[in-house]
Amino acid sequence: MSYRAKDAIVSKSISASQPPLARSQQVSVEIWASMSDETVDVLIIGSGHSGGMAAKVLTEKGISCLMLNAGPVADVKKDTEVKPAYALPFRGFKQPGTLPHVFQSDEFNANTWVDEKEVPYTYDPQKPYNWVRVRLFGGRSLFWSRQSFRLSDYEFKGKSHDGYGDDWPIALADLAPYYSRVEGIFRVRGRAEGLPQYPDGNYVLDDSPWSGCMQRIIAAARQKGIPVCKARSAQGEDGLASSVNLLIPDAIATGRLRAIPNVVVRELGMDKNTGLVNEARFVDRLSRREMSVKARVVVLAAGTLESTRLLLNSKIANSSGVMGHYLIDQVYGPGIACSVPEARDGKSTEALMGGSALIPRFRNIDTKAKDFIRGYALNLFSGTGGMDPKHFPEYGEGLEKKLASYHGSGFSTGIMGEVLARYENHVSIDKEVVDAWEIPALRIETKYTDNEFNMARDAVDTSVALAEAAGFEVLAKNYDPNPPGYSIHELGTCRMGDDPKTSVLNKWNQSHDIKNLFVVDGAAFVSAGWQNPTMTILALAMRSSEYLAEQMRMGNV
């Protein structure tokens, strides 16, 4: 049922830019609680990085857009105010039984994440999946850690390099101009390294000096032919690099974006005569009122698995039969914890300790690892604060002395490893389970195999070898990956490709089956690489949206 004009409740403005940001404070998201029978030009589902980018590009090209988002507009300033532990019912610990798969959650940030009871998903208990979701307006862009990398042709053309899987239908050269523009918008800090597996970009120069302990690791790594580079990270504005402060304000400034929070899209409808998608049916999260909107074009940006869930529930765009398959992410968890002896007993100085670095993929570039393909990166961190007591076997006074002695001497590594794209790792609709709005839930079936486990082992052994060569004391090694999904980099399930028989989208993120349907989030990925994916999601969303605008101008869509 459509809302008609007479059903209008209110049309009010709420600040979408909660943090203290001069530019975005001038802008507001228009909240429409009413709908008419109008057909919108482009309907964008989702308001995170990918939806925000689509909105910015399309509205700046003169196209009117309506954005629907499942969750509320957050007042980031108010809602991120950290309460003291004594003011919380569980004293900072997690409420028992809540968010069991969100290892990142605690009582301080419990309001961030999607409640698994409200929006359940299912899995084989032997093969758990940690699906970490945010439904606030702005999605995960409000909380991401901002590591910002490009994929290289070792990922885009992985099959050509080692014979496994499939190449993407695009190469780095196709995406490089878009990466550069995205890096400019997000103010990515880094420096040129001149490595083909770690492509350089458009960076705010990071010319900060290395601390002494990092210099020692760099020297140890050089001996083994392993590069150590500056990490790359989006600075955004005032510490926030989100869609609500960097993308959506530009769209709103055009006067062509309307946005409705708190509405959950349940399915898309088709015009049987044209074979085009023409409608979205959605439910008000709070009142449970059912609504619908007609659209000329639909851009899905609900986050990889929610976009796929929506398409599977709508039973469209899957003539290939590969929708839901090739779910990928990245291996996280394995790494080591060390102490730098020279920094102990009060001798930790700024010159010796602190900072971070990145070892980009170095395996399977020019040589072949013996028991895994593809590769991993290592994040390196040097700490100046307290050590984790779990690294020491002592109790009581002994532990107190150890912690005091080791204070400020920490060094750690952590893997970011490529998970291979496999047909068997997939999602489907669970016919037995629905969410709070009676929308069928997703079933996730995925597991890591020897390639990921062997890669993780190599990452830990390599970390130990580097740390020992640098003269650090290794306190702990962890070889066990966290469950799939933990990296919060779920990708694939509507992969792109040139062949409509083996892929869901073409190289423009456009459905092979339905030309006015685009999926601009991580669902389009063919392979994951080791790189955090958001720069690639943003660059693809920008490229796809420009293509869509041009197709609309030419009357093809």
Ligand X SMILES: Cc1cc2nc3c(=O)[nH]c(=O)nc-3n(C[C@H](O)[C@H](O)[C@H](O)COP(=O)(O)OP(=O)(O)OC[C@H]3O[C@@H](n4cnc5c(N)ncnc54)[C@H](O)[C@@H]3O)c2cc1C
Binding residues for ligand X (CB under 6 A): 45-51, 68-71, 104, 132, 134-135, 139-141, 143-147, 264-265, 301-303, 306, 310, 488-489, 521-522, 532-534, 537
For 15, half-sphere exposure in the C-beta direction (CA atoms, 13 angstrom radius) is 15
- CB atoms under 10 Å from CB of 347, counted, come to 13
The minimum distance between CB 342 and ligand X, in angstroms, equals 31
Q: How far apart are CA 482 and CA 462, in angstroms?
A: 19
Contact 55, 44 (CB under 8 A): yes
CB closer to ligand X, 52 vs 334: 52
- CB atoms under 10 Å from CB of 195, counted, come to 15
The minimum distance between CB 465 and ligand X, in angstroms, equals 27
CB closer to ligand X, 232 vs 256: 232
The minimum distance between CB 518 and ligand X, in angstroms, equals 13
The minimum distance between CB 151 and ligand X, in angstroms, equals 11
**Residue 465 phi, psi (nearest 5):** -60, -40
The minimum distance between CB 302 and ligand X, in angstroms, equals 4
Give DSSP secondary structure letters for 445-459. E----HHHHHHHHHH
**Residue 188 phi, psi (nearest 5):** -80, 130
CB closer to ligand X, 204 vs 465: 204
Q: How far apart are CA 103 and CA 212, in angstroms?
A: 33
Q: How far apart are CA 18 and CA 7, in angstroms?
A: 29
CB closer to ligand X, 154 vs 186: 186
At 228, list the tokens.
Answer: 């150590």
Look up residue 389 and give its DSSP letter. G
Q: For 368-425, list the strands marked E by DSSP.
A: 376-382, 410-418
The minimum distance between CB 305 and ligand X, in angstroms, equals 9
Q: How far apart are CA 552 and CA 231, in angstroms?
A: 39
The minimum distance between CB 553 and ligand X, in angstroms, equals 25
The minimum distance between CB 45 and ligand X, in angstroms, equals 5
CB closer to ligand X, 344 vs 489: 489
Cα distances (Å, whole numbers) of residue 202 to 57, 181, 192, 508, 539? 19, 8, 9, 23, 13
Q: How far apart are CA 518 and CA 526, in angstroms?
A: 16
The minimum distance between CB 234 and ligand X, in angstroms, equals 8
Contact 531, 149 (CB under 8 A): yes
User: Comparing C-alpha atoms, which of 130, 109, 243, 117 is closest to residue 186?
Assistant: 243
CB closer to ligand X, 237 vs 340: 237
- Sign of the torsion formed by the C-alpha atoms of 259, 549, 506 and 159: negative
Give DSSP secondary structure letters for 345-373. TTT--TTTS--EEEE---TTSSS--SS--
Residue found under tokens 């120069």:
205
The minimum distance between CB 265 and ligand X, in angstroms, equals 4
Helix (H, G, I), strand (E, B) or coil at 477: strand
Cα 5 to the chain's mean position, in Å? Answer: 38
CB closer to ligand X, 307 vs 511: 307
The minimum distance between CB 223 and ligand X, in angstroms, equals 30
- CB atoms under 10 Å from CB of 80, counted, come to 17
Strand partners, 121: 442
**Residue 175 phi, psi (nearest 5):** -95, -15
The minimum distance between CB 80 and ligand X, in angstroms, equals 13
The minimum distance between CB 481 and ligand X, in angstroms, equals 17
Contact 54, 66 (CB under 8 A): no
Amino acid found at 130: N
CB closer to ligand X, 419 vs 537: 537
554 CB-near residues (< 8 Å, 6+ apart): none
Amino acid found at 514: I
Cα distances (Å, whole numbers) of residue 14 to 173, 259, 392, 413? 41, 11, 50, 42
